[in-house]
Amino acid sequence: MRPFMRTALSMSRLVSAHSFHLKSNATPIISHSSRSLRIPLFKLPQGVCRPNSSSEFRWFCSKSRIAAATMQNRESVSYLTQKEAAEVDEILMGPLGFSVEQLMELAGLSVATSIAEVYKVNEYKRVLVICGPGNNGGDGLVAARHLFHFGYNPSICYPKRTPKPLYAGLVTQLESLSVPFVSVEDLPLDLSKDFDIIIDAIFGFSFHGAPRPPFNDLIQRLVSLNEYKEAKQRFPVVVSVDIPSGWHVEEGDISDSSFKPDMLVSLTAPKLCAKRFHGPHHFLGGRFVPPSIVSKFNLHLPPYPGTAMCVRIGKPPQVDIAALRENYISPEFVEDNVEADPIHQFRKWFDEAIAANLREPNAMSLSTATSDGKPSSRMVLLKGFDEDGFVWYTNYGSRKAHDLAENPRASLLFFWDGLNRQVRVEGTVQKVSEEESEQYFHSRPRGSQLGAIVSPQSSVVPGRHFLIDKFKELEDRYSNGSLIPKPKYWGGYRLKPETFEFWQGQPSRLHDRLQYSPCEIEGKKVWKVERLAP
């Protein structure tokens, strides 16, 4: 999308080569102020247990694990010529009714979320945004605003400001956030010491010719960072918006400037020069392209995962797995601030996971073992918890059910990545009553009820067609809306806790680990809280 925003559609037409560019009687889950502990998760309103996104910036882009699922081979993606890119803009801002403001906002948000996807705020906090005089610079201003709200510390270098209201408004928005504007003269010659990320939002796809002052000097300063790369020293990463500034929109770095950004965020569709981009991170942003444009230009674009505003193009860089690590930044979790009852503490953290819109906060790893100690783990969904334990449902013929029949002890692990938290629960397991299982079964969507009947869980089947055919057969049988009977081999389990551990990630691997274990004081059962070494 960018620098496709012309200040007016007529300008775009006249100057197409120029742009700046739980228990059955439990009460429903309620607010934090309530102290009720009977929480049937299956009674949550639709969407509460399965939010689409997190309030933390890392989920704007759905994280690498989701984006990786939609990575495209660069040869399978469409690339636009300069003329095609200009024509796309004309159509967007003409018959399709988009405004410059809308497109610029989408572009800047796409750039910010792409950056947040790769360069985490706890390691790459200081950002310099170098903005050109046109729409590409406007994208940079919008990206800076979003990055500020994501927790980064942006600074702006905007040498040639335009008086147009759109850009003046963006400047005002940034000034109201106390984002500093730095003149070219005040920038250090060596940018490596003051910044972790530098955003190149100088020239867009309509730029041609040689960069003029002061932008030629600024681009040269970005080129000089190559020395740090070659010496394998820490250096600021450079992110280019739509095309690397100074590159020919179709032929790439024909002037041999040696400008090699680390990330390229293509907008709407990649431009031809992107084929010559060999940096480690290439993203596509601008999730708005209408089907009519896709059809007209025969575009092949990767699908965007979930609610993401960006998607990776090509393979991610090869990394040293041993070097993968994250330095957790979290509030301290200390003994003086915890609940005396671990169920109360779990409920508090669970409510906070829901409030943070984490994806499936009720997902948990269930670990079981056979009578001879052979372990196995799988992810299941918590469907209720109260003072009597944690409940989930499954097929009584599954592997986990066989394990529990031999060895009725298990452990649960909740991992809430967005909050840097884990909870481990260990205890004994028994089946819930047939009445509870019946009630929950009929609270499920009819498709899920049929699926439970169709699937001989953990058994070998001849193929997916076997399940689909059985499902369709049952779907026809109960098409009149009649009650679907719960199979005898399906129901719930309840783990009665004997030990809890609450884990909060902290810097330098000095994590907080508080363990609850039962003890007896004056004939009364209480929970003892002890700190474990990380």
Nearest to 60 by CA among 273, 355, 308: 308
Per-state percent for the chain, helix, strand, coil, to nearest 5 = 30, 20, 45
| 98 annotated as belonging to a binding site for a ligand | no
- For residue 463, what are its two tokens? 């193929």
| 139 annotated as belonging to a binding site for a ligand | yes
| 388 annotated as belonging to a binding site for a ligand | no
| 206 annotated as belonging to a binding site for a ligand | yes
| 259 annotated as belonging to a binding site for a ligand | no
Distance (Å, whole) CA 464 – CA 525: 51
| 407 annotated as belonging to a binding site for a ligand | no
509 catalytically annotated: yes
Neighbours of 230 (CB within 10 A): 9
Distance (Å, whole) CA 290 – CA 223: 37
Distance (Å, whole) CA 390 – CA 350: 13
Helix (H) or strand (E) run with residue 168 in it: helix 165-176
| 134 annotated as belonging to a binding site for a ligand | no
Name the phi and psi angles at 388, rounded to 5.
-90, -10
| 153 annotated as belonging to a binding site for a ligand | no
Half-sphere exposure of residue 98, counting CA atoms within 13 Å on the CB side? 25
| 205 annotated as belonging to a binding site for a ligand | yes
| 136 annotated as belonging to a binding site for a ligand | yes
| 512 annotated as belonging to a binding site for a ligand | no
CA 186, 191, 197 angle in degrees (round to 5)? 115
- For residue 351, what are its two tokens? 């409510």
Rounded to the nearest angstrom, the gap between the alpha carbon of residue 342 and the centroid of all alpha carbons in its chain is: 30
| 89 annotated as belonging to a binding site for a ligand | no
| 447 annotated as belonging to a binding site for a ligand | no
| 226 annotated as belonging to a binding site for a ligand | no
| 285 annotated as belonging to a binding site for a ligand | no
Q: Tell me which of 161, 477, 509, 531 is the catalytic residue.
A: 509
DSSP 220-260: HHHHHTHHHHHTT----EEEEESS-TTSBTTTB-TT-----
Crossing angle, helix 446-454 and helix 464-477, to 10 degrees? Answer: 130
Active site residues: 509
Question: Which parts are annotated binding residues for (6S)-NADPHX?
Answer: 135-139, 204-210, 242
Question: Which parts are annotated binding residues?
Answer: 135-139, 200, 204-210, 242, 245
Question: Which parts are annotated binding residues for K(+)?
Answer: 136, 200, 245
